[in-house]
């Protein structure tokens, strides 16, 4: 245990200097857009990504976003921030916490960018009360396929782009500036890990917590869970507190957060983290995926540099594996078949969660699984479609979903079609009235994809904001992986 010291509050940078630097970054972006040949597809010129689907290489120049990586301004009085599109959540949180503020939803990995979370979705343990990251956006400046910077607001001239931008994955444009809401936070988060031996009971309790925001008479401000097996699952409940005291450290020490959740008692296990360490509790070991690199082995963990205990470094190891087929080569030496990557996040209505989990645990040999309930925020901003406010990822208002995340691989069965496990998951998610995020491999037919991800509405948006198809369309980018 260690004692935390609250982060010092700091004065904001002069507002004009932040916006002046941002304008210079936008000018670099526009210059790079004009340098791309008219017959070339417009892409970002960035080497890193939090996408797991393959991306084609090209010799054409890309968009220079090097000047769009910072927090432009924080307004603590109005609890808002103006943020450049390529700013990471790590930098965003570092800028807001000294004011006792944080984004309403902070995705789990430090290098996810705000623009990426909005155009590609994001989720975390506040999503049962605050929805998804794009729902706390007040306005956006977006570089469209036309090469224009437009300001999109819920009910302004470009409101169609405001509502259609989430889940568009850069096919309608790229956010250069986003104005977002912030919320007050306290220095610590107190946790309770509640164990369940029955998935149906866990589902029922999770539904009750989402509805009442209370468990056993205590308020719940953060809610997610982990499934280790059909007989062992947990909900982790968190509440902010200013009370000083000892806190756990899962970044610098030998302990691993997801393992700390497990226990065999009917009484919830308790823990405490600083708000900073709570927000990044999953990044240190990339949830549990760091085990693939041996870093959860105590003998290795002792000597693994602490600065490399983070998702951005594990991404570099993944890139090496992709380049040299290291994992498949090692499997071949053992006489094992190559493996299919199964890295997905899906949303299933809460009433279907236990049934989906049972199917998955029986048919797909992957564990643990992450659970994160979510509901679209209420009330929706002015101008929202009451039935389908975010048309490219049409979750129903007033309905609770559960994000189920699984990130591993399974043996490829000889003679099976490419992506057999992923295809089975896609079909089962659709059967259960769910959706899946598009940051990883997808195998839908064009008609299936159109029915799930906007269809004619996307076509209309594309015609208006990218009439010359300078950007890839959704199906080409997410499924055909051009």
Q: 348-365, pLDDT tens digit by residue? A: 999 999 999 999 999 999
Q: 10 Å Cβ neighbour count for 381?
A: 17
Instruction: Give residue 155's pLDDT.
Output: 93
The mean-pLDDT minimum among 235-249, 308-322, 356-370, 454-468 falls in 308-322
Instruction: Give residue 3's pLDDT.
Output: 34
Per-residue pLDDT tens over the stretch 45-62: 766 665 655 655 555 679
- Residue 327 CA to residue 274 CA, distance in Å, equals 36
Closest CA to 384 of 398, 401, 372: 398
The mean-pLDDT minimum among 38-42, 103-107, 225-229 falls in 38-42
The mean-pLDDT minimum among 14-28, 317-331, 335-349 falls in 317-331
- Residue 306 CA to residue 89 CA, distance in Å, equals 20
Per-residue pLDDT tens over the stretch 101-160: 999 999 999 999 999 999 998 999 999 999 999 999 999 999 999 999 999 999 999 999
User: Which whole number is the average pLDDT over 265-269?
Assistant: 95
- Residue 333 CA to residue 318 CA, distance in Å, equals 20
- Whole-number average pLDDT of the chain: 92
Instruction: Give residue 320's pLDDT.
Output: 80
> Per-residue confidence at 481, pLDDT binned at 50, 70, 90?
low
Handedness of CA 213, 217, 222, 223 (dihedral sign): negative
**How much is the pTM?**
0.93
- Would you say residue 174 has pLDDT above 50? yes
Alpha helix segments (H runs only) across 325-377: 326-333, 353-363
Q: Look up the CATH number of domain 7-184.
A: 3.30.465.10
390 or 47, higher pLDDT = 390
- Would you say residue 2 has pLDDT above 70? no
What is residue 336's DSSP assignment?
A: P
For residues 360-369, b (16+ Cβ closer than 10 Å) or e, as one string?
bbeebebbbb
- Would you say residue 246 has pLDDT above 60? yes
The number of residues in the chain equals 482
Closest CA to 470 of 135, 10, 160, 39: 39
> Per-residue confidence at 226, pLDDT binned at 50, 70, 90?
very high
Which residue's structure tokens are 């169609």?
160
3-state secondary structure of 396: coil
Instruction: Give residue 384's pLDDT.
Output: 84
- Residue 98 CA to residue 9 CA, distance in Å, equals 4
Closest CA to 56 of 469, 476, 481, 475: 481
> Per-residue confidence at 72, pLDDT binned at 50, 70, 90?
very high
What Cα–Cα distance (Å) separates residue 26 from each residue in 32, 141, 175, 186, 481? 10, 10, 10, 35, 28
Domain residue ranges in the chain? 7-184
What is residue 133's DSSP assignment?
A: G
What Cα–Cα distance (Å) separates residue 190 from each residue in 232, 247, 271, 274? 22, 9, 6, 9
Instruction: Give residue 1's pLDDT.
Output: 35
């Amino acid at each position: 245990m260690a004692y935390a010291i609250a982060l010092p509050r700091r004065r904001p940078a002069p507002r004009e200097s932040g916006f002046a630097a941002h304008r210079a970054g936008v000018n670099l972006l526009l210059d790079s857009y004009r340098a791309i040949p008219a017959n070339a597809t417009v892409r970002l010129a960035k080497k890193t990504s939090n996408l797991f689907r393959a991306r084609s290489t090209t010799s054409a120049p890309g968009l220079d976003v090097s000047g769009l990586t910072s927090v432009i301004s924080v307004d603590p009085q109005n609890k808002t921030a103006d943020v450049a599109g390529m700013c990471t959540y790590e930098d965003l949180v570092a800028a807001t916490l000294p004011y006792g503020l944080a984004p309403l939803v902070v995705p789990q990995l430090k290098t996810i960018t705000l623009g990426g979370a909005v155009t590609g979705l994001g989720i975390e343990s506040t999503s049962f009360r605050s929805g998804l990251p794009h729902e706390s956006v007040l306005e956006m400046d977006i570089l469209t396929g036309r090469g224009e910077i437009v300001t999109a607001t819920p009910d302004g001239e470009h409101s169609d782009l405001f509502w259609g931008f989430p889940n568009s994955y850069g096919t309608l444009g790229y956010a250069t500036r986003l104005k977002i809401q912030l919320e007050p936070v306290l220095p610590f988060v107190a946790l309770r890990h509640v164990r369940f031996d029955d998935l149906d009971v866990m589902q029922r309790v999770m539904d009750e917590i989402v509805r009442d925001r209370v468990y056993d008479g205590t308020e719940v401000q953060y809610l997610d869970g982990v499934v280790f097996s059909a007989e062992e699952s947990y909900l982790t409940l968190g509440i902010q507190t200013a009370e000083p005291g000892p806190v756990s450290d899962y970044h610098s020490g030998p302990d691993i957060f997801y393992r700390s959740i497990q226990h065999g008692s009917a009484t919830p296990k308790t823990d405490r983290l600083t708000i900073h360490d709570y927000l990044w509790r999953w990044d240190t070991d990339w949830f549990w995926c760091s085990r693939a690199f041996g870093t959860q082995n105590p003998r290795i963990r002792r000597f693994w540099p602490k600065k490399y205990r983070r998702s951005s470094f594990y991404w570099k190891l993944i890139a090496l594996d992709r380049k040299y087929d290291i994992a498949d080569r090692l499997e071949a030496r053992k006489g094992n078949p190559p493996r299919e990557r199964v890295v997905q996040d899906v949303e299933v209505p809460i009433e279907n969660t236990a049934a989906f989990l049972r199917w998955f645990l029986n048919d797909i040999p992957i564990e643990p699984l992450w659970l994160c309930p979510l509901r679209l925020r209420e009330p929706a901003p002015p101008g929202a479609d009451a039935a389908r406010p975010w048309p490219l990822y049409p979750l129903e208002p007033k309905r609770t979903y559960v994000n189920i995340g699984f990130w591993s691989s399974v043996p490829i069965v000889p003679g099976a079609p490419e992506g057999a496990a992923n295809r089975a998951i896609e079909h089962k998610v659709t059967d259960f009235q769910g959706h899946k995020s598009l940051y990883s491999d997808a195998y839908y037919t064009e008609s299936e994809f159109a029915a799930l991800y906007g269809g004619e509405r996307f076509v209309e948006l594309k015609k208006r904001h990218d009439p010359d198809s300078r950007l890839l369309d959704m199906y080409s980018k997410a499924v055909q992986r051009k």
